[in-house]
A and B are shown apart, each in its own frame.
Chain A
Amino acid sequence: MSDEKWTVTFIVFRKKDEQPVRYDTFTLEVSPNEYVLDAVERIWAFHDRSLVFAHACHHSTCGACGMRVNGVERLTCITPIREVTRNGGTVRVEPLRNFPVVSDLAVDMSRLYQAMDVVHAQAVHPLDAAPLEGDGIRPPRQVPQPEEEGEFLRLADCIECGLCVSACPVAGTDPAYLGPAALAGAQLQSIARNPDLLSVVDCAEGVWRCHSAYECTAVCPSNVQPGWRIMDLRRQVVAQRIKALLGQR
Chain B
Amino acid sequence: MTKPHAIVIGAGFTGVAIAYDLAQRGFRVSVVERGPIANGTSGRTHGLLHSGARYAVNDQESAIECIQENIILRRIVPDAIEPNGGLFVAVQEEDLAYRDKFIEGCAACGIPIRELTPQEALRLEPNLNPRLLTAFTVPDATFDPLRLALAFAASAKAGGAQFYLYTDVVDLLRDGRGNVCGVKAWNRAADRRFDLLAEVVVNATGAWVGQITAMAGIQVPIAPTPGVMVAYDRRLTQRAINLLNEPGDGDIVLPQRRMMVVGTTSFTIEDPDYVPVYEDHVALMMERGSALIPALRQTRERGAYMATRPLIGGTAPGRSISRTFKAYDHAETDGIDGLVTITGGKATTLRLMAEKTVDVICRKFGMDVPCRTAETPLLSYRKFYL
Residues of A within 8 A of B (CB): 1, 16-17, 19, 33-35, 38, 41-42, 45-46, 49-52, 54-64, 77-78, 102-104, 106, 108-110, 113-114, 116-117, 123-124, 127, 132, 135-138, 140-144, 146, 149, 152-157, 159, 222-223
Complexed CA–CA distance, A140 and B123 (Å): 10
Stretch from B78-86, B212-220, B324-332 contacting the other chain: B78-86
B79 — nearest CB in chain A belongs to which residue? A123
B386 engages A57 (CB within 8 Å): no
In the assembled complex, 26 residue pairs joining A and B whose CB atoms fall closer than 8 Å, in A order, are: A1-B282, A19-B191, A46-B274, A55-B36, A56-B39, A56-B43, A57-B43, A58-B44, A59-B261, A59-B302, A60-B302, A61-B231, A62-B43, A78-B303, A102-B166, A109-B385, A114-B385, A117-B386, A123-B380, A143-B124, A143-B126, A144-B123, A144-B124, A152-B238, A153-B82, A159-B257
B382 engages A62 (CB within 8 Å): no
Q: A135 CB to closest chain B CB, in angstroms?
A: 7
- In the complex, besides A46-B274, A110-B386, 12 extra interface pairs with C-beta distance below 8 angstroms are A1-B282, A35-B304, A56-B37, A56-B38, A57-B305, A117-B380, A123-B381, A124-B80, A127-B238, A152-B238, A153-B82, A155-B257
B279 engages A1 (CB within 8 Å): yes
Q: Does B145 contact A (CB under 8 A)?
A: yes
Inside 8 A of A64's CB, which chain B residues have their CB?
36, 43, 146
Q: Does B229 contact A (CB under 8 A)?
A: yes
Complexed CA–CA distance, A60 and B137 (Å): 28
Inside 8 A of B238's CB, which chain A residues have their CB?
127, 140-141, 143, 152, 154
Q: Does B343 contact A (CB under 8 A)?
A: no
Given A17-B191, A42-B274, A78-B303, does the pair A59, B236 have CB atoms closer than 8 Å?
no
Inside 8 A of B80's CB, which chain A residues have their CB?
123-124
Given A35-B303, A143-B125, does the pair A132, B237 have CB atoms closer than 8 Å?
no
Q: Which residues of B127-186 have CB atoms within 8 Å of chain A's CB atoms? A: 127, 137, 144-147, 149, 166, 168
B307 — nearest CB in chain A belongs to which residue? A58
Q: Which 4 A-B pairs have the closest CB atoms?
A: A56-B43, A58-B305, A103-B189, A59-B303
Complexed CA–CA distance, A101 and B128 (Å): 46
Complexed CA–CA distance, A54 and B302 (Å): 19
Greatest chain B CB density within 10 A among A57, A103, A114 is at A57
B279 — nearest CB in chain A belongs to which residue? A1
Inside 8 A of A62's CB, which chain B residues have their CB?
38, 43, 144-147
Q: B284 CB to closest chain A CB, in angstroms?
A: 11
B 35-48 to A, binary, CB cutoff 8 A, 1 in contact else 0: 11111001110010
Q: A78 CB to closest chain B CB, in angstroms?
A: 5
A223's contact among B36, B145, B147, B258, by CB below 8 Å, is which?
B258
B81's contact among A42, A50, A59, A124, by CB below 8 Å, is which?
A124
A140 engages B237 (CB within 8 Å): yes
Inside 8 A of A38's CB, which chain B residues have their CB?
276-277
B190's contact among A16, A33, A45, A152, by CB below 8 Å, is which?
A16
Q: Does B259 contact A (CB under 8 A)?
A: yes
B145's contact among A56, A102, A123, A152, by CB below 8 Å, is which?
A56
Inside 8 A of A153's CB, which chain B residues have their CB?
82-84
Greatest chain B CB density within 10 A among A42, A62, A64, A135 is at A62
